[in-house]
Structure 1
Amino acid sequence: DVGGVRVNIGSAEELRAEYRDLVAKLDERGLLEGLEGVIIQEMVKGSREMVCGIATDPQYGPMIMFGLGGVFIEVMKDVTFRIAPITDVDARDMVRSVKAYQLLQGARGTTPANIEQIEETLLRLSQLVTDYPFIDELDINPLMISEKSGEAIAVDGRIKVRTEEARAALGL
């Protein structure tokens, strides 16, 4: 981990300083060559972190996952799975079946999460693995629920594919 994610940047000068520090760290590790740029985006503030993704079960194949994410995923284990492809009814049931659903509804005065958007995300993940069956794993963690709007925003993600299968399927 090179420490590439920088947070709580409050000014243009702080941004320049963080950029210089990141470039220096990459250079120290011999990772600067090939750097094409950096991505700068708004820092999403939210106290509700969810997870969604794709996991491949050796017996059942691709599964869609949803639950409480961030640092809580390992501790709380509030996650549900369905075999892909899923339907809109499956997506609805998945979101409502986790204990964290109460948090998504706007507990203790928080802005309710956009539940339909979360359900649509699960449906799109299902379609993605149906269209590209060489996807072995995909994690969006955290899927942060915005304090302001209730929108679900993918803050970090990871994907693992079966490389040879992907190359063959895509003609690479």
Structure 2
Amino acid sequence: SDGRVGIKDAAQLRTEFADLVTKLTEKGLMDGFEGVIIQEMVKSDREMVCGCAKDPQYGQMMMFGLGGVFVEVMKDVTFRLAPLTVEDASDMIHSVKAYKLLAGARGATPAQINKVEETLLRLSQLVEDFAFIDELDINPLMISDKDGEPIAVDGRIKFNATEALVALSIA
């Protein structure tokens, strides 16, 4: 992908899009090009991560913690087995050291904790409903400086294609 950030207006958007198409054409990558995703620029220094990985013995292991580039460095994450309860989601959020950032440290707008909980609960339900999902992560889940809203900026799902075809009755 070739992300572009800080686009100010429609004219700049057209210029950036034309530049992207030119670069893809020059590299011979336009075959299969379907378009672009445009989303609001999120201003935040608070990046969280949430997701899951399927353990062959225990099932889906949900994860939450400090995200972005810090996930590997700080290792401030917590885990619970799916399906999550409301109490599990709340405990996960409150158990990481980064909770202080979510609570609004140093005058920052506090995160909407109920919406972070809802995100964890919905991910838990998703992997329960679609057992063919092997891994799923949202990184970063940014906490908006404006209103504390959690916003999924990037995500990834890895699934077992054979199981997915059978489960979705496509095979």
Q: 1:72 aligns with which of 52, 67, 70?
A: 70
In the superposition, the TM-score normalised over structure 1's length comes to 0.95
SS of equivalent residue, structure 1 residue 158: strand
When structure 1 is superposed on structure 2, of 93-102 and 16-25 the one drifting more is: 16-25
- Amino-acid identity (%): 69
The one-letter amino acid paired with 1:86 is L
Among 149, 158, 168, the alignment partner of 2:166 is: 168
Q: Which residue matches 2:7?
A: 9
1:154 to 127, 152, 159: 152
Q: For each residue in 1:54-97, what CA deviation from the matched residue of structure 2 results, as whole angstroms up to 9, or x when unmatched?
A: 11123322111100000100100001111111111100000000
1:1-172 correspondence runs (5 A): 2-3=1-2, 5-172=3-170
What's the CA shift for 1:16? Answer: 1.5
- Find the aligned partners of 2:13 and 2:78 in 1 and give their Cα distance: 39
Q: Quote how far apart the aligned CAs of 1:40 are.
A: 1.4
User: Which amino acid in 2 is paired with 1:165?
Assistant: E
RMSD of equivalent CA atoms: 1.1
In 2, distance between residues paired with 1:133 and 1:165? 8
Count of residue pairs the alignment pairs up: 170
Whole-angstrom CA distance in 1 between matches of 2:58 and 2:23: 43
Q: TM-score, normalised by structure 2?
A: 0.95
3-state SS in 2 of match to 1:80: strand
Unaligned runs of 5+ in 1: none
Consecutive unaligned residues of structure 2, counting only runs of 5 or more, are none
